[in-house]
Amino acid sequence: MNPARHVLFALALAAPAIAASAQTRVDQRRPADADGLVQIENAAGSIKVIGWDRDEIQVTGSLGARAEGLEFVTRPRRTRIQVEVQGNPHRVTSDLEIRVPAGSRLQIESYSAAIDVRDVNGRIKAESVTGSIAIAGKPDEVEVESVSGAISISGPAKRVRASATNANVTIRGVNGVIDAETVNGTLEVSGGDFQEGRLETVNGAIRFDGGLIGGATLDIETVNGSVELRLAANLGADFTISSFGGDIDSDFEVKLGPGSISSSSGRDRHDRHDDRERGMRFTTGGGGAKVAITTLNGRIVLRKR
């Protein structure tokens, strides 16, 4: 091996060690209130938060090469955790695992870090631009927002608000009140019993598989996307459906308006062959819940569970 190649080979072997040494390991603990507010900020990398049964907060992980340090300050009922960096924070990749009292309230901000929260019961608010957001557990309330990172929420939260621009939104097992929207992406909701729901997309399908309690309201709207609802066969609800460029396919027995075509097989189909808005109103069971569906260019499918 000639000297030049020998030097390059030595540098290649040393590169992983050099990169590793650029990372700064952290392992710190602070006492904290059982239901205090925990504010977390890390621009890039990952943020993993886990609830536990201790009245203290532990931060472990690694800080990126250009990180100045970790701000970890605890005051009565409030803790702040922030990766401090030199220059552009979006180029400093830090990975944090943070254990907090299970009853904590969280506020998390990031640009591209993947956010993963588990087993935290307090109110959770998380924002990211390109990083994904995943929430699992039994939080009282969840509010998440992303531009192009996928959103996933699972567990019996009582109130959920989720908003994305260019990403899919998936919500499973929640109850109570839900408000979810995405511009370009699929919106999928399944699980519990809802009192109030608003689901909206511009260019994406909406799928809903859940229960509606008596007097519940469910409003669904999409421009260029299909809508599929799977509902209890004995549901009592009043439906209002409107579509310009899609057909309506229902397992429920309905009375169709003028210009509609009803099949004789028990499944009713409302076909669209022009650009005029047409709709239908019908009631299942004894009525009660209010379901409104509006699409511009999308098929509407109602299925019995």
Average pLDDT over residues 8-29: 57
Question: How confident is the model at residue 2, as a pLDDT?
Answer: 45
Which of these three, 83, 115, 149, is where a domain ends? 149
**pTM (two decimals):** 0.85
- Decide if 113 is inside a domain: yes
Question: How confident is the model at residue 83, as a pLDDT?
Answer: 95
Give 190-215 pLDDT, tens digit per residue: 988 999 999 999 999 999 999 999 89
Are 82 and 198 within one domain?
no
Give 166-180 pLDDT, tens digit per residue: 999 999 999 999 999
Q: Is the pLDDT of residue 268 over 50?
A: no
CA–CA separation, 245 and 160 (whole Å): 31
Are 140 and 233 within one domain?
no
Which of these three, 119, 149, 179, is where a domain ends? 149
- Decide if 68 is inside a domain: yes
How many domains does the structure of the chain reveal?
A: 2
Are 87 and 200 within one domain?
no
Are 109 and 224 within one domain?
no
Are 140 and 31 within one domain?
yes
Question: How confident is the model at residue 278, as a pLDDT?
Answer: 62
Question: How confident is the model at residue 256, as a pLDDT?
Answer: 47
Question: How confident is the model at residue 246, as a pLDDT?
Answer: 78
Q: Is the pLDDT of residue 34 over 80?
A: yes
Are 33 and 141 within one domain?
yes
Which of these three, 88, 115, 149, is where a domain ends? 149
Are 143 and 37 within one domain?
yes
Which structural domain range is residue 88 located in? 22-149
- Decide if 173 is inside a domain: no
Give 106-115 pLDDT, tens digit per residue: 999 999 999 9
- Decide if 228 is inside a domain: yes
Question: How confident is the model at residue 40, as a pLDDT?
Answer: 98
**How large a percentage of the chain has pLDDT more than 70?**
84
Give 37-90 pLDDT, tens digit per residue: 999 999 999 999 999 999 999 999 999 988 899 999 999 999 999 999 877 767
Give 125-156 pLDDT, tens digit per residue: 999 999 999 999 999 899 999 999 999 999 99
- Decide if 92 is inside a domain: yes
DSSP of 236-277: -EEEEEEESS--EEESS-----TT-B--SSS-EEE---SSS-
- Decide if 30 is inside a domain: yes
Average pLDDT over residues 229-255: 86
- Decide if 167 is inside a domain: no
Phi, psi (rounded to 5 degrees) for 33 = -70, 150
Question: How confident is the model at residue 22, as a pLDDT?
Answer: 62
Tokens found for residue 129 = 């631009």
Phi, psi (rounded to 5 degrees) for 79 = -130, 140
Of the pLDDT bands very low, low, confident and very high (cuts 50, 70, 90), residue 4 is: very low
Are 78 and 133 within one domain?
yes
CA–CA separation, 190 and 212 (whole Å): 12
How many CA atoms, within 13 angstroms, populate the side-chain half-sphere of residue 6? 3
Are 65 and 125 within one domain?
yes
- For the chain, give the longest Cα–Cα distance: 88
Q: Is the pLDDT of residue 245 over 80?
A: no
Are 124 and 34 within one domain?
yes
Are 116 and 227 within one domain?
no
- Decide if 232 is inside a domain: yes
Are 70 and 137 within one domain?
yes
Per-residue burial over 156-194, b if 16 or more Cβ lie within 10 Å, else e, is ebbbbbbbbbbbbbbbbbbbbbbbbbbbbbbbbbebbeb
Per-chain mean pLDDT for the chain: 86
Give 168's DSSP letter. Answer: -
